[in-house]
Each structure stands twice: as structure tokens, then as C-alpha cells.
Amino acid sequence: MLQRRTFMMTCSAMGLAGTLFPGVLWAQAQAEGAKKITKEMIDNAAAIAGVPISDEFKEMMLSDLNEQDKGYDEIYKLHIPNSVAPALLFDPVLPGMKFETVRKPLRMSKAPSVAVPNNTEDLAFASVRELAELVRTKKVSSLALTEMYLRRLKKYDPTLKFVVTLTEERALTQAKKADAEIAAGKYHGPLHGLPWGAKDLLATKGYRTTWGAGGFEDQTIDEDATVVKRLDDAGAVLVAKLTLGALALGDVWFGGITRNPWNSGQGSSGSSAGPASATSAGCVAFSIGSETLGSISSPSTRCGCTGLRPTFGLVPRTGAMALSWSMDKLGPICRTVEDCALVLEAIYGPDGHDRTVHSAAFNWDANLEWKNLRIGYLKAAFEPKPAQPQEPAKQEPPKTHDEQAKAEDQKKRQDALQARAEYDRKYNDAALAKLREMGVNLIPVEFPKFPYDAIRVMLTAEAAAAFDELTRTGKDKLLTSQKDYDWPNTFRTARFIPAVEYIQAARARTLVMEAMAKVFDGVDVIVVPTNGSDQLTITNLTGHPAVILPNGFRGPDAPKFPFDDPSDFQNAGGPDTPTSLTFLGKLYGEAELLAFARAYQEATGFHLKHPKMISGR
């Protein structure tokens, strides 16, 4: 078989290493089981890659391309595990940036007055802050809460499909230990004794860690992720490994589709599908999700939760499945903003393993004077989009029946998305009005213009590298969902991304970071619609933190999506479903960001409403 090192060296010498040509030619030779490259193969690869090569160069290339030598295929034989990061580190911090490094004592809100119910089930939707006070004062035991949440997980999982594995034995042991420690005066803090759920990409010793993916159903990793260890140290009680869309995409996993508690005919979105669904349904006190490009934001929106995507490099990812080393973040999905702050307090900071984590301090102060903060808003994103001029219809040849059906399907989708966006505008307008009523002087800001979709190729390339062996062995066929936007097709397509273009995208990303730093020079927090703008892509590329929180509920007149398939990612909205709003913060500015988001949440109260099918309210 051909050796890849010589092959690639020859391509490089010809000035072709940064084009599609090497990958196309190599794949062609491998597919044909060739013992040598032929001129015809070079012609075919050159045509696909759009690289003009004259006949004299083809002849020159043949002898070198067919030399035998050790090559890149030797790297394949290493079978590099997903946990090994490349020797390249992304750092969102630009030269001259400063952030707080001195840790200060946690300053929570005033202890709430919570009546002890006759039925523990009545605490299912209580906040972390409320549950913490009940457990601290020994009015409710950790064991009682744990047993209650385990019952609810078992009761609602058949409908919502948010559990991969119940960690019942571990949970009951932890709960009893928590009660004993608290009784002995060894209180660990506000998470002590509180049951939580982990997205099943966090390694947990003694239990399987499936990544939600077919082919990995029985995978075990003999360690606890750093976040799991830290929550253990905080006295929290892990009750379940919760679902994620296969390899962190969407809400379709090997066991089915995780559902939205507000409308079980819809998926819960993803990829933190189980954490958002279980938290929304009152089946855990809080959960841990992850985001690379919307995986906390999207399910928090769909399920009406409060989600925090921390700054890149604040929470260590050791023991978590890697999708994109330069974009993955871990963060809490909760019922309130302060809940997110209390969970973040327990999990952030360097662990000596994840080399991207800075020694930044997160100093939560529930009484921070948020009125001193400068608040921007993405003005253009809140304004109605101008109607696009209609171009005269072009004369096209008659479509086949399948083509016509596909075109009609696409038209229905576009109309439905447009109708939803127009309907939801009033919630964004109401948010701005409420902020002004709170006395906020909203400063209009604009985000820089860059080819963000092109820069996002970095995520695709890194994800394909993270699961390279899955693609090369053909085991990607085991993944449940095989649509054009699912990972199997994306990973295969990524084989054609030139190395030079990946580096160019990284350089463009630096320009975006510098431009966004200038935007944040004038403001501390930026208010943006969760959907309908580039903010999600931009801030995941730059590493800025975001809080996503409920922002009202659609009425009975809300437009419904025209297709009922719960696995359809666009199947969202409709009557009685939540909308959301997003607040963006400075790098490592979570304390100020969360303080402002909490003020808005307290002023609106949308977080106090729960799904009717679960709560009966």
C-alpha cells in the first residue's frame, strides 16, 4: 500500500499542500487499493480540487508519489484517544487584557423563607438557593430530595427520554454521607446534598459514558471528570447521566429523541438535551451541560431553563468528550441565574490538566450594584428586517415530482420560520421596554462583519479529527441519525478541508477577537435576541460568556411548525412554549454578567413558570 508521508511531501514540494488535491488523491488511491498512483488519478484529483497541473508536472510527480516510506498512516496506528488534545492551544485573552485573579468569599442572596411542604415532591421546582437553605437548616434531608428526584426521573423518562443511566446506588450513598456530614457540622456549601444530573459526555467512574452515540453504548472511562470530582467535593449528589445528541449534536441519541417538557411532540434541542429537559421537568436540582456552538443556549431556550455558557478557559474540560478543542465549554443549566452562579463557583478554575484554563477569579456577589454597569444592546438584531425585493420568477425546466415536493417542503419551512420570528419579535420588544423601565440606559452596539461561516470551519475540522478513526473505520454508520447535517456526513466532508485554510480561518478568528474586544471596550454587558443574529457563532468563536434565560411564553395563537417529526431540529415554538433572551459578558466577566441577568430575571419572573404536563400548573 502507498505510504502517505512521501506522498504528502511530494504534494508539498509542488506547492499543493494547502489545496484539496492531496486529500482527494490520497482518498482515491486508498479507495481503489492502489499500489501506485497513476496519471489518471492525478487528473481526477486535480479536477475535483480545481488545481491546474500541467502534464510535465504530472510525470515528474509520479515517481516520487510512488516511493515507499513511512507516512501519516503510522499516526493512525497510534489509535489516539479522544482525550488527547493537539499541541495547539486557543486562548481568548488578547495582549493587554486584564481580569480578576484574587478569589473573594461567596456572597449569596439573602436566605429565602421556604415553607417545608408535607410532600417533598412540592420542592421539585425549587431553586438551588431555596433547596440549599432547607438542607443547611436540616429542614429537608439530602436523602429525601435524592429519593424524590430519582422517583421523578423514573416517572417522566419514558415520555421525555432524558436518562442514559441512573446512578442510583452512587446517589443514595452520597446523600446519606451528605446528611451525616451536615449533622456533624461539616457543611460544604450551597450545593451540599443537592441532587444533580450530568450530560453523558462527562466521565464517571463505575458507570458508562456513552456520548449518546451508537457504537459507544457500553463505553466506560475509568475516571471522574474534573467537574464531577469538584461537585463531589461540594457535596452534590449525582443522580443521573443525562442524554445528549450523538457526539454532541442535536437531541437524537441511541435511545431515541429527548423531548421538550413544554411540548413532548418536539425534541428538547441539543446537544445538552437531557440536562435541559430534566431540569425543566423538575427532575434534578441542576445539571451540567456543554456548548461548542449553541449546545447550552439552544436547549435552554427550548426547555425554558436558565443556562450559563462560561468564558472559554474558565471551567476545566478534563474527562469530558472533546468535540472542538478550541471551542468546547462546560457550564450549568439551572432554574435561576443565581443557581448558575452557585454551581459555577464550585466547578471553575485550573485543575492542572486542561491547559486552556486561566487563573481567573469568579467572585459572585448577589448584591453587586448592577446599575453601575454599562449595558449595550445589538440594535440591528432587535429591529424588523426590511422586506427583500421580489425577483421576477426565472423560467426553469419542469421539476421532477421529488424535486417539486422538496421545493414545497423548503418553502413551508421558510414560511414557518419567518412566521415564528415575526411572532416572537414582541417578546424582544417587551424585553427592551422592561430594561428601560428598570432604568437601564441601553447603548446601541454593532458587531463586526466577518465571514463567520467560513471561520467556523475550524469547528468542523477539529470535530472530524476528534472522531477521525470513527470515519475511517466506517463505524460512523452506527450513529442513529444519518441526515445531511449529522456528524457522519460532516466528518466525511471535513476530510476535504485544506490545512492552510484551517490556519487562515484561525487567523481570521484573531481579527474577530480583536474587533469584539473593541465592542466591549464601551460596555460591560450586551443584550441580544437568542435567535436571529450571528451572536451565537461570534461569541463561541471569541470565547465570551453568555446567560440564556426565559423571556416570556407564546400564546395560543402562536404559529405551529408544519411538520410533526420530533427529530426535526426546526420543529419548535407553538402555543405555550418558552422564548428566551441572551446576555453576553466580557471575558471572565461572569460576576457582572450574572448580576445583571439576575436583576432582569427577578424583574420579570418568567423562570417561575413550569411545564403544565409536568407540574400540573
Which uninterrupted H or E stretch holds 263?
A: strand 263-267
Sign of the four-CA dihedral 26, 451, 290, 417:
negative
Q: Do residues 312 and 318 touch, judged by C-beta distance below 8 A?
A: no
Angstrom distance (rounded) from CA 275 to CA 279: 6
Q: How far is CA 411 from CA 59, 561, 562, in A?
A: 51, 12, 11
Grid cell at residue 423:
411572532
Can 412 be counted among the known catalytic residues?
no
Q: Which amino acid is at 52?
A: P
Sequential DSSP letters for 213-246 = -TT-TT-B-SS--HHHHHHHHTT-EEEEEEP-ST
The residue from 58, 199, 329, 586 that is catalytic is: 199
Q: How far is CA 165 from CA 255, 346, 492, in A?
A: 11, 24, 31
Q: Do residues 223 and 205 touch, judged by C-beta distance below 8 A?
A: yes
Grid cell at residue 433:
421596554
Sequential DSSP letters for 56-107 = HHHHHHHHHHT-----THHHHTT---TTPPPS-----PPTT----------B
Question: In the beta sheet, which residues pair with residue 256?
Answer: 253
Can 12 be counted among the known catalytic residues?
no
Residue 527: strand, helix, or coil: strand
The residue from 142, 271, 280, 287 that is catalytic is: 271
Grid cell at residue 448:
463586526
Angstrom distance (rounded) from CA 60 to CA 533: 50
Place of cell 478569589: 103
HSE-CB at 91 with a 13 A cutoff on CA atoms is 11
Grid cell at residue 373:
454597569
Grid cell at residue 194:
443537592
Question: In the beta sheet, which residues pair with residue 166?
Answer: 240
Can 271 be counted among the known catalytic residues?
yes
Angstrom distance (rounded) from CA 441 to CA 339: 27
Angstrom distance (rounded) from CA 579 to CA 554: 7
**329-358 as b/e: b if 16+ CB within 10 A:** bbbbbbbbbbbbbbbbbbbbbbbeebebbb
The residue from 141, 280, 295, 580 that is catalytic is: 295
Phi–psi pair at 307, nearest 5 degrees: -120, 145
Return the active site residues.
Answer: 199, 271, 295
